[in-house]
Amino acid sequence: MADGHDTLYKKGENADTGIVFADGVTGFDQACKPGRVLHILCLRGGMSFMLNGVGYNVAARDYVILPDGALVSSFAESPDAESIVMSLSERFVASLALRSNYGIIGHLSLLQNPVMRLSEDDFATCREAMQTLRRRMNGSVAHQFRDEMLGHLLMAHVLDLYDIHARGRRWNDVPESTQRLLRRFVEMLYSGEYIVHRDMEYYASRLCITPNYLSDVCRKASGRSATYWIDRFTLGEVTRLLMQKDLSLSDITERMNFSSLSYFSRYVQRHTGLSPSDYRRSHALTGGATPPEECENRKK
């Protein structure tokens, strides 16, 4: 362990892959990198962050899963904050080959609210699992099957998280073909297609299905339409750009391929309840305005 960070790299991979542990998010350079899945177990104190323009507060016994660290900004911790932070490469997670269709459902749900409040028993289970994984990672350098052993420990922890997240939620097992379709749709959004294409017909055409079918499978898996997810990613990028004070509203309009400044302003007003200028001022004063439909997600 060095400087509070522990690292595992899969054989033949570079320093941007594998598992990285840390004792906090402040100054942790792996936290906000693209292609990293971030897990945070808050032990004491609290922290806050922004995800897709929405502010979240985290307290002791909360577990945070951020499917893409690049979408996160404005991390802040209280002076007494203690946490276990685990950063995973998407490639490493994919190598686990979990045979559960809950993965894509959970992924979409976590994009809506990445903070889980744990019971005392679940908190103890997660803390033990993360501490065990970190300890075995440090102490098993000579283990002849180290990667496989650590991968199975991580798989057991992820399945526990699936169970915790799924409890009390009504969800239907998604067929494998639908899971692949949803994953392709989400991958298109992560790749930035929404910057140019914000009409559902485009995505349906790329997926070789009808717009109604795309929206239907999205609703069944996440409770939200395909249009919601297109707007969610668009709004996340818009709010990120609005936080950059050196960019004019005209610059942002052009970057996001809106046809005019007036149309861009109407879009932001419709989705946040504020004009772009008011949103920017509000963020400067309060650390981030929250779209009205998302307010319930940030309250504990």
Q: Dump pLDDT digits (tens) for 225-259.
A: 999 999 988 988 898 888 888 999 999 999 999 99
Q: What percent of the chain has pLDDT over 90?
A: 39
Residue 139 pLDDT grade (very low, low, confident, very high; cuts 50, 70, 90): confident
* CA pair distance 155, 152, nearest whole angstrom: 5
Instruction: Supply the pLDDT for residue 283.
Output: 65
Residue 215 pLDDT grade (very low, low, confident, very high; cuts 50, 70, 90): very high
Instruction: Supply the pLDDT for residue 288.
Output: 42
Q: What percent of the chain has pLDDT over 70?
A: 79
Q: What is the mean pLDDT of the chain?
A: 81
Q: Which of 10-19, 95-104, 166-175, 190-199 has the least mean pLDDT?
A: 10-19
Which residues are bridge partners to 38 per DSSP? 66, 87
Residue 56 pLDDT grade (very low, low, confident, very high; cuts 50, 70, 90): very high
Average pLDDT over residues 72-90: 88
Instruction: Supply the pLDDT for residue 175.
Output: 76
Predicted model pTM: 0.69
Give the pairing type, strands 36-44 and 82-89: antiparallel
Q: Which of 66, 86, 68, 92 has the alpha carbon at shortest distance from 9?
A: 92
Residue 214 pLDDT grade (very low, low, confident, very high; cuts 50, 70, 90): very high
* CA pair distance 54, 115, nearest whole angstrom: 12
What is the CB neighbour count within 10 angstroms for residue 165?
18
Structure tokens at 65: 């899963």
Query: What is the helix (H) or strand (E) element at residue 49, kind and residue range?
Result: strand 46-51
- Sequence-ordered alpha helix ranges (H) in the chain: 90-95, 102-112, 120-139, 146-166, 176-190, 200-206, 211-222, 226-242, 249-255, 261-272, 276-286, 295-298
Average pLDDT over residues 251-269: 95
By the 10 Å C-beta count (0-12 exposed, 13-18 middle, 19+ buried), 33 is classed as middle
Average pLDDT over residues 82-91: 88
Q: What is the rounded (10 degree) CA torsion for 65, 67, 69, 70?
A: -150
Instruction: Supply the pLDDT for residue 97.
Output: 58
Average pLDDT over residues 22-28: 80
Structure tokens at 266: 């109407």
Average pLDDT over residues 97-122: 79
CB of 173 within 8 A of CB of 106?
no
Q: Residue 83 above 90 pLDDT?
A: yes
Which residues are bridge partners to 49 per DSSP? 56
* CA pair distance 135, 148, nearest whole angstrom: 15
Residue type (1 letter), 60: A
Instruction: Supply the pLDDT for residue 168.
Output: 60
Q: Residue 192: helix, strand or coil by DSSP?
A: coil
Q: Residue 126 above 70 pLDDT?
A: yes
More confident residue, 155 or 202: 202
Phi/psi at 23 (5° precision) = -95, 5
> Phi-psi region for residue 247, left (φ > 0), alpha (ψ -120 to 50) or beta?
beta
Instruction: Supply the pLDDT for residue 1.
Output: 38
